[in-house]
Structure 1
């Protein structure tokens, strides 16, 4: 696309709408983590059944990362985003109408099918809207929305469930999604292009054969193991090990997110300013900070020091999250969706296994969290090692070696 096609107004509108849509995405997704308590009581679900309800979403969500990326390359970001948003909003509303354990499993699985295409499609939308030298910063803004969305979802869901009930909460969040569907339908158009533009054919086989795509997936897998592991088990760690009250754990959880947001946007800015191939040093630095900080956190002598080291660990994870912007810089636009889908697939696989695996480690060692945290430290070795095998001298397009 010609650089003149990019204009400030379009970039601002698209970035703001995608940022807010990511927050809606997390409202619909993370609110179930809060609502499952009330739902379990109403439907008399045991802990295993409650876990299955949550896992049914992640299973579908992981599967759709690969499919959604391929669909985005084939049909374009706009179409996939609109269909994804429409489907997940519909099943968010349907969640409020659930009447049994079986209905919850089916509805949340289909909800995951709907949401699963959005991550890849939103990344491609940025590539269609921003020039290469600005894409990392734009991706950093969207990555920030996931952290902000998780906090907003937890706080808003708790308030709504308390005052209006979980059913009404899901109705409201679903209707909010329909509103953003209308906004994106009107404003999300690639600059200088029509919605009916013919797209090049994409060879998924060539994408799957590209070693860089799988290296990025490994890096994101290791980072996601830590992110999902900490988000799942830190609340119980504060309560059971550090003996902090439940209300205070909610306040504590906000502080590390601030450090993560600072690191995410800082690393994205650095990526746009640094030369090709230097991103691996950001990933390595972030991983090393995370490894050291997690070790110090699990051995901290006080709550204050534990929180401090957790903040540093989140800062490291935020630096390493620059990997999410790398496909926008190093892959041809025709195959970008499929590449991002492979990377996000690794992240969702980590999200599926990390909470269960850490729980097993805690049970195995009689309530001690040391083994679980050690597992997270080992997980960070994966991106630390993998990043040094990245060969990133110039973009695929500059080399004339498109992956599709």
Structure 2
């Protein structure tokens, strides 16, 4: 029961920060219509979020390994909740930009904290990381199910997120010390060839995961005019959830590296097949293989670094690899400005990069 509570806590805090950034992929549509945004302005919101996320990830990781999880989550949950509240109180494009930028600096503490808890308290690592990272697919699934409500009540979403993060703060305030690893440990060398190459693979994966999440729905609705775009996005979201079965089980059979390579290859194939053939059910498998590479890659990074440096290694990995997340939304937006088809090719670029680098590990 105690293991379940530890893991549930880690999963929820990861889920909330992913819900915040993933929501823009749907909320961007009504916001773009209300404020008459261009494709570049749509992409700029998440790009600014990842500016903050990238800059702060390594400092947060080092802080967590040195001082423990509890303080990091208390600071992050309280401050980010009030930043997000600004969107509800003063809804405008400028406020959204500023809030996403500031929130990026703050919520980047939550995922390394979850990884620290899981790596210290639970094993096997690849299994629990796979389940932990299922929080992203579940966030996208929830958003797809409430997409109709988000069109009309997107401001209320940010109010509810404020309440949720504030609740995390109060729960953490009374959290037992055993939930976190507070012991200071010496840093090992974190820039070996294997770690650097794994982080490069992760960079391309970030481009794929958050580029697809941010742009799939706008592609379907605004640019390719699919008649059943909501169904396609729902199937994609169900595929994301199902990716957990691949990422948490398959590495034990064929190894993390092969799971990563198989997922990247199938993502490329399915992305082009979906938009060329317009076969709706392909979106489910696109969802599966647009995320099944994530936890095996993170598992490799943590194993190479050692669990005593789990937060630091993930923090450094976030700093470097989230450049892919930072550049993808606005880069795809620029490509779409010339041609929607060019936007699809730009989105697939991260998969080609990661697949090529993976063979060097």
TM-score, length-normalised on structure 1?
0.77
Q: Is the 8 A contact 1:282 1:320 kept in 2?
A: yes
- Aligned-pair distance for 1:140? 1.2
Given the superposition, is the C-alpha separation of residues 295 and 198 from structure 1 closer, same or farther in structure 2, using an over 3 Å criterion? closer
- Aligned-pair distance for 1:380? 1.7
Asked if residue 199 in structure 1 is aligned to residue 184 in structure 2, the reply is yes
Asked if residue 324 in structure 1 is aligned to residue 298 in structure 2, the reply is yes
Write the distance in 2 (CA, Å) between the matches of 1:32 and 1:374: 22
CA distances 1:360-402 after superposition (whole Å, capped 9, x unpaired):
33333xx341x33334444322222322222xxxxxxxxxxxx
Q: Is the 8 A contact 1:91 1:111 kept in 2?
A: yes
Q: Is the 8 A contact 1:128 1:190 kept in 2?
A: no
CA distances 1:201-257 after superposition (whole Å, capped 9, x unpaired):
436xx32x3222221211111122222332233224334665324xx3122112123
Residue aligned with 1:389, SS: coil
Q: Which has the larger radius of gyration?
A: 1
Write the distance in 1 (CA, Å) between the matches of 2:169 and 2:27: 24
- Aligned-pair distance for 1:105? 4.0
CA distances 1:48-81 after superposition (whole Å, capped 9, x unpaired):
6665444332211121222222222221223222
Of the three residues 318, 327, 330, the one matched with 1:353 is 327
Of the three residues 239, 251, 276, the one matched with 1:259 is 239
Write the distance in 2 (CA, Å) between the matches of 1:69 and 1:292: 35
- Aligned-pair distance for 1:35? 4.9
Given the superposition, is the C-alpha separation of residues 29 and 82 from structure 1 closer, same or farther in structure 2, using an over 3 Å criterion? same
Given the superposition, is the C-alpha separation of residues 38 and 79 from structure 1 closer, same or farther in structure 2, using an over 3 Å criterion? same
| Greater relative contact order (Cα < 8 A, sep 6+) | 2
Write the distance in 2 (CA, Å) between the matches of 1:320 and 1:150: 17
Q: Which runs of no fewer than 5 residues in structure 1 stay unpaired? A: 1-8, 391-404
Of the three residues 48, 51, 64, the one matched with 2:56 is 64
- Aligned-pair distance for 1:40? 6.8
Aligned length: 359
Given the superposition, is the C-alpha separation of residues 49 and 98 from structure 1 closer, same or farther in structure 2, using an over 3 Å criterion? farther
Matches within 5 A, 1:224-373: 224-239=206-221, 242-245=224-227, 248-271=228-251, 273-274=252-253, 278-300=255-277, 303-304=278-279, 307-321=280-294, 322-364=296-338, 367-369=339-341, 371-373=342-344
Write the distance in 2 (CA, Å) between the matches of 1:265 and 1:157: 25
Aligned-residue CA RMSD in angstroms? 3.0
Q: Which runs of no fewer than 5 residues in structure 2 stay unpaired? A: none
